[in-house]
Structure 1
Amino acid sequence: MDMDFADLNRTISAAAGKAQKSQGLSVQSFLASLAVYGSICVAVLIFEQSRQSPDRNVSRLSSGWHAWFSRLPKLSLDEELITEQGMDGYFFLRLLRTALKMFLPLTAIIIPLLLPLDLTAGASAAGLDKLSWANLQMGQIARFWGHLVAALVVVAYVCYILVSEFRELIRIRQVYLLKSCHSQHQSARIVLVTDIPKSKLHEDTLARDYARFNGGPVKIWINRDVSSLTRIVEKRNRLVCKLEAVLTEELRQTRKSLLKRFRKDSDGRTPMSIARDIQDLNKKITQQQKDIKSFRKLPSAFLQFADPVTAHQVQQVVADSVPLSMVPHMIAADNDVIWSNLSLRWWQRFIKKLIIVGCVIGLTVFWVVPIALTGLLSQVVYLDGKIAWVQRLSDSALGRMWLGLIQGLVPQLLLSILMVLFPEILLALVRRQGQVTRSAIELSLQGHYFVFLFLQVFLVVSISSSITTVIPEVLNNLQSAPSILAKNVPKASDYFYSYLLLQAVTQCALSLRQLPNAIWQWLLMLLWAQTPRKNWSCITQRSMMRWGLVYPVFTNLACICKFVF
């Protein structure tokens, strides 16, 4: 390979705009991507259609390929669906329906009007650029006016759909608060209040402060620092698991007739000694539970109100004149509270959040490096004459076909792998923010992940100049940002055709089959579940759906579709 470092550096530096470099993407590359992704999609759909099981925790659709599609327009406040999948799952279906309502009519009306307008412009654009306004020539004012009118129609229609959905969201929320399926849950009537001043950390004082809300709370629980008791319980649980593991191994060895006496654990202890330690810990736990008032009070409390509407009203009101005091939190489920974070003060949570946000911003910015490396493959045709194997492939028809596959398929596959890796790192960081509820973690995760996806998947790969050049230009003149995007986004549309196809297939497969969770559960069963307790845990306790990682992916795809239009 006779490619020097300067050539490699120039290639990586330009990778910030690799989508722009994909202008002129050949029809061959696009059709190759379409064939591969389409085959995968059809295979997944056929597989799912053939193995629908009646024992799933969802209502089975009517037979036929059109059954799911015909039900989407009728999606309303479905109590059965909400009971089975929760409000998050219900609104995710509404998100998909909203995307269909946006882009199906636009595809049916706008594209047939604009394609002839661009195709007959007569410019020298190549490949798929002939179908976009990159094929227009200077002076063709009437054709540019056609694109402008179409853009205004798209913006107006999208705004109309969004306003309609926001109104429907408010209506559904109000109706859901009064539904019996929601109000019967005790968590719907409970509000967690954190950062309570010491002067108000009394049940009588809290009852008096909240008395104006429908008579006040019917029950009040002030949280206490039971960390010492928690440590004893955790130690007891570890010993129980150890005892179970030792006895299970003893049964295995006895069954094989290889061992006829009690087997010792790694610490040299017998099952009887472990059992005695468990009994001692049970006595300590029982003793501390009887004297619960001896534990130190924490600056937080749970308030239970008469109905969910009152609890919802409490969340909307500032209860104290001191900033960051008496902060209310809605409890989304019975297991929503993160007990270990209740002891944190507001300033501790603030510092944790500040540090984590800084880490996320730094990671988001520097993640461009591995993403930029995928630009090497998206620009492989430009390395002709610099890399020997690229030169050899370019000299034959079969080699050029392989180059088309590499340029149209592999970069998006590598980009998708990087997109799978980042959420796990982000989730580990967000969990350390000090949030008191798991639902707050999901909301924080959703916001950070969407910003990352929009910056890295759309903006970074769309801007043709290097990042080091664009950022100073935008900072010096903020008004230049629209012109930069207006110059480069139209050229990037070819790249996103392949990317949207890939995401449509991968997200379909990942969502329907839950592949990461299935693989993880299989590994746990193979390597970790060596006792009946662990085996039962793997089978019955499914991984919680991380909606904070699901919503941003589809929202970002919708944003890309909007800009491509």
Structure 2
Amino acid sequence: MINIVSDHGGHRTSSSTSGAAILAAFIPTFVIAVIYLAIFAAIRNSYRKIYAPRTFFGSVPEKDRTPQSTAEGKSWFHDFRTLSDHFVLQHNSLDAYLYLRFLRFVVFVCFVGCCITWPILLPVNATGGGNASQLDKISFSNIAKNDHLWAHTAVAWVFFGVVMWLIGRERLQLIGMRQAYLLDDTRGLRLSSRTVLFLNAPAEACRKENLEKYFGAEAERSWPLVDTGDLGELVSKRSGSAIALESAEMDLIVAAVKHNKAGHGMANGGSSSNAESQTLLPKSRRPTKRKPPVFGSKFDPVHRARKNIGELSERIDTVRSAPSRNFPDHSAIFVAFSSQDAAHRAFQQITFEPRVPIEDRFLNVQPKEVLWENLDKPTPVRLSKASLGLAFVIAFTIFFSIPVGIIGTISNAKYLANRVSWLSWLNDLPPSVLGLLTGLVPPYLTSSFVSYVPKLFRQVAKLSGEPTTSQAELKTQVWYFVFQVFQVFLITTFSSGAAAVFAEIAQDPSQAPSLLAGSLPKASNFYLTYFILQGTASAASTVLNYSDLFEYLFYDRYWLKTPREKFNNFAQMKGTPWASWYPKFTNFLVIAVVYACIAPLVLGFATVGIFIYYLSYRYQLLYVCQTKVDTKGESYKRALQQMPTGIYLAELCLIGLFGARKANVQMALMIVLLVFTAVVNFLLDRILRPLELYLGVDIWEEQEPLLAQQDGVPVDDEAAAHAASHGRRLGLYRMPHPAPRYLSDLFDGTISNAREQMQSWMYVASSAHDESAPLQGEALEKAYTSPALTSKMPKLWLPRDKLGASKQEMEQNEAAGISSTDEAAEIDEDGRLLWDHRFENVPIFSKPKVI
């Protein structure tokens, strides 16, 4: 029962978090989770395409497949339990491994927070002298004596300091791990590892005769972007016409088979002459379409598509055979260097517009991730597009607060029912229903609403001029993290806390600080149930993945008809949307850190909930997901850079809460801690930036004697000379001696240990991997050439039939210069499509290439 009682600092609701409310949210979500996992266990082996594609898919190299235990009665769970996270590193990608490491890091920080805060703050809060009850009795809401706030101040200094140290240490280790991974010998042989993409290059720099002049003697080969006009559009139309022809011929073959089954076919229907082929399916029975639909004139889709392909192919060949092409004034150029070191040095030193606040060069770019339409955009256009994209995201984030704010107020529905007359009907609901409404519905709605946002942001990032899908993903990650913090944390926290006291604030605005100081800690009620929901039903839902299962079955059985469509639907693997995954759990850490000293119980719920999520994502990355966007560890680096946001917000909240309670000394200490945190984080970002940006390259090492003289270090002291050069590169040379040397040694030690550890893991992987041979000949010449200039006509895949209709269509296609095949697919007598699911037998399948 909820009553309004008087409390220190003003009036607030006594609607304390109760064990019953927690159970009301936990029981249904736990039951749902158990049901999900039971269904998963029952159907997992029947739908390996959805739940274990990494164990057998042809698109996953055999050396990278996850083992499937069958001997001695061992099940997949045995492998899941015994395989280490290093298996993900060795057989999936660096990003996949780092994501699991990220989740473990978040769990570890939350667990350390429990160890620091619970023994001190729980008893202090419980004896705080307030009138809070149930679970609120062990939160900040129960503090009525300012003397008790010394405990919160001391714990904040210790815990926030530990979190900053853990983040800094993890960033240093990440530098070492990325160095070892990216500079590994097996990857160093790849063309992409020694190729740099330069944007905004002048036309003169794109000419082959000027390659050495602009990019140095170690530049071996270049692929400048040329003006292709409407060639890309023509190629896209031709591919669309090819797919349309394939679909139309599929309809024709099925119609012929059904016509023959009805008794209208010829005995010698397999003949391929034109006259006899018409008898397989009379002209009146051939499939037709109308354009425009319904009211337009009829046409034969096979003839129309075949004619379009011929016309488009002729235009494409004419355009491609043009003797020369112009370079845009501010073009893009891919430059391959003689070695990986040379590429890194060029990446660090060469830029054409150094004063422009936008990235203009990129390392390790795979051709398949290039957004070709964005490469030829001049700097003003890129800046304007980026500005428009940012403006849209800001506006969207602000206005999205309306529905999220409404959702947040639902958690205080009972109180609102007592205060707002037209909501009084809520008091008539059964307690169990009201518990679900206030405990389960708000976090569920918040999670559902927010899940669609990264897809929108990702599309905006691509339209904003980013040159590659990985860069677009990283920009989306930044935007979505801001959205998560603003909406899922700030707006929800404020709306949930303010809703309980808005009537009192309206009557006496001067009491707003003290009222919010008492009510905002109660917003933790929302996050207790939020972590319950995320850690049980949502994590189990991630494993069951019923939406993908239903989508696959629906499209396979009722929508898709051609062998190509069936194969593409079957062969599609779930990706790794880092821009969706990282911000969600980075925000979880922000929430846990913010409430560490306000409602320490949140840390415990976060620890358990995120650990369960770690297990679910571990299964996904071992058995289900394929890394489609490779950021090479950059996404984890950005997540680590975003984590201090939680410390800043936590310190600001405590400053506000202490100020509202007139605890001036404690508030001053928190202000000092805030300034100290900001300074440390600023210095850390500045010091680590060159190591995080220019991995593996230390151009200062060649100048150590000169730098040693400049810094007053004896030239014959090699250790001191190295420390001086390293310290200067890190921006430490302005610090008083011997601080640069100590910090340099500390950083070097942490980085080198992580690098050596990663190298030992990578040695196991490298020894087991057979790297493909380096590109040669035509493949090398066209490696970074625009697809508009190199894309070939898709090979048509038709199903074989006993009548020979597919053979006739193939002959007519070949006569028109269109390659086609009817291997590995057939139409049975009832017109049903059967196709070979083995990837090696599918004629349109080609193994993915890593350049």
Both structures adopt the same fold (TM-score exceeding 0.5): yes
CA distance in 2, matches of 1:483, 1:195: 55
Task: List aligned pairs for 1:390-429, cutoff 5 A.
Answer: 391=424, 394=427, 399-429=430-460
Of 173, 179, 183, which residue of structure 2 is paired with 1:168?
A: 173
Partner Cα separation in structure 2 for residue 487 and residue 385 of structure 1: 19
The residue that corresponds to 2:381 in the other structure is: 348
In structure 2, stretches of 5+ residues that fail to align are: 1-11, 56-64, 69-73, 263-280, 292-298, 503-512, 597-851
Distance in 2 between the 1:71 and 1:151 partners?
38
Partner of 2:309: 278
1:139-190 deviation line (CA, Å, top 9, x unaligned)? 4x1x322222222221122122112211111101111122134224322222
Contact 2:404–2:446 under 8 Å retained in 1: yes
The aligned runs of 1:225-374 (5 Å cut-off) are 225-257=227-259, 260-261=282-283, 262-267=286-291, 268-291=299-322, 293-294=324-325, 296-297=327-328, 299-320=331-352, 323-324=355-356, 327-374=360-407
Residue equivalent to 1:222: 224
Q: Deviations over 1:404-452 (max 9, x none)?
A: 2211111111111111132233223222101111111001100000000
Distance 1:115 1:320 in 2: 58
Structure number with greater CO (CA < 8 Å, separation at least 6) is 1
Deviation at 1:93, TM superposition (A): 0.8
Distance 1:99 1:24, change over 3 A: same
CA–CA separation in structure 2 for the residues paired with 1:252 and 1:187: 46
User: What does residue range 52-201 of structure 1 map to in structure 2 within 5 Å?
Assistant: 56-57=54-55, 59=66, 78=86, 80-139=87-146, 141=147, 143-201=148-206
CA distance in 2, matches of 1:158, 1:280: 64
Task: Tell me whether 346-355 or 443-452 shows the greater mean CA deviation.
Answer: 346-355
Distance in structure 2 (CA, Å) of the matches to 1:134 and 1:326: 47
* TM-score of the pair, normalised by structure 1: 0.82
Distance 1:361 1:254 in 2: 57
1:337 CA displacement = 0.4
Q: Contact 1:462–1:488 (CA<8 Å) still a contact in 2? A: no
Give 2:593's aligned residue.
Answer: 562
Alignment-mate amino acid for residue 132 of structure 2 = A
Deviations 1:15-67 (A, max 9, x none): xxxxx989623321112112223333444455556637676345359979898
TM-superposed CA distance for 1:526, in Å, is 5.8
Structure 2 counterpart SS, 1:124:
coil
1:270, distance to aligned residue in structure 2 (A): 4.9
3-state SS in 1 of match to 2:92:
helix
Question: CA offsets per residue over residues 372-398 of structure 1, 9 Å max, x none?
Answer: 221342222124357889656646xx8
SS of alignment partner, residue 224 of structure 1: coil
2:31 aligned to which of 35, 39, 44? 39
Moved more, 84-93 or 373-382: 373-382
> Computing the radius of gyration over CA atoms, which structure comes out larger, 1 or 2?
2
CA distance 1:97–1:218, change in 2 (3 Å): same
CA drift at 1:362: 0.5
Q: Secondary structure at the match of 2:197?
A: strand
Evaluate the alpha carbon distance shift between residue 295 and residue 525 of structure 1 in structure 2; reply closer, same or farther with a 3 A threshold: farther
Q: Deviations over 1:504-526 (max 9, x none)?
A: 23552454345555555455546
Moved more, 92-101 or 63-72: 63-72
Shift of 1:286: 3.3
**Equivalent of 1:508, from 527, 539, 544?**
539
Q: Which amino acid aligns with 1:436?
A: P
Pairing of 1:423-438 with structure 2 (within 5 A): 423-438=454-469
- Contact in 2 for aligned 1:23/1:495 (Cα 8 Å): no
C-alpha change, 1:526 and 1:387, in structure 2 (3 Å) is farther
Residue aligned with 1:435, SS: coil
Paired position in structure 2 for 1:6? none
User: Residue type matched to 1:293 in 2?
Assistant: S
Q: Is the 8 A contact 1:426 1:445 kept in 2?
A: yes
Distance 1:534 1:177 in 2: 36
Q: CA deviation at 1:490?
A: 3.0
- 1:23–1:493 CA contact under 8 A, matched in 2: no
| 1:455 matched to 2:486 | yes
Distance of 2:359 and 2:399 partners within structure 1: 38
The CA distance in 1 between the partners of 2:208 and 2:157, in whole Å, is 58
Preserved CA contact (<8 Å) 1:26 1:128:
yes
1:60–1:165 CA distance, 2 compared to 1 (3 A): farther
Shift of 1:363: 0.6
Residues 384 and 81 (structure 1), Cα distance of their counterparts in 2 relative to 1, 3 Å cut: closer
Alpha-carbon distance in structure 2 between the residues aligned to 1:352 and 1:228: 22
- Trace 1:4-23 onto structure 2 (pairs within 5 A): none
Compute the displacement of 1:254 (Å): 2.5
Per the alignment, residue 267 of structure 2 pairs with: none
Q: Is the 8 A contact 1:190 1:311 kept in 2?
A: yes
> Match of 1:431, SS?
helix
Aligned pair in 2 of structure 1 residues 465, 132: CA closer, same or farther (>3 Å)? closer
Determine if the alignment matches structure 1 residue 549 to structure 2 residue 573: no
Q: Which residue of 2 aligns with 1:7?
A: none
In the alignment, residue 206 of structure 1 is paired with which amino acid? L
State the distance in 2 between where 1:66 and 1:38 align.
24
Q: Distance in 2 between matches of 1:366 and 1:448?
A: 15
Q: State the secondary structure of the residue aligned to 1:348.
A: helix
Distance 1:68 1:128, change over 3 A: farther
Q: Out of 546, 550, 567, which is 1:536 matched to?
A: 567
Equivalent position amino acid for 2:92 in 1: Q
Check 1:410–1:321 CA distance in 2 against 1; reply closer, same or farther (3 A cut): closer
Higher mean C-alpha deviation, range 151-160 or range 279-288: 279-288
Amino acid across the alignment from 1:320: F
CA distance change for structure 1 residues 386 and 319 in 2, over 3 Å: closer, same or farther? closer
Residue number among 504, 508, 527 corresponding to 1:496 in the alignment: 527
User: How far 1:318 sits from its partner (Å)?
Assistant: 4.5
My pick for the range that moved more, 409-418 or 286-295, is 286-295
Counterpart of 1:235 in structure 2: which amino acid?
K
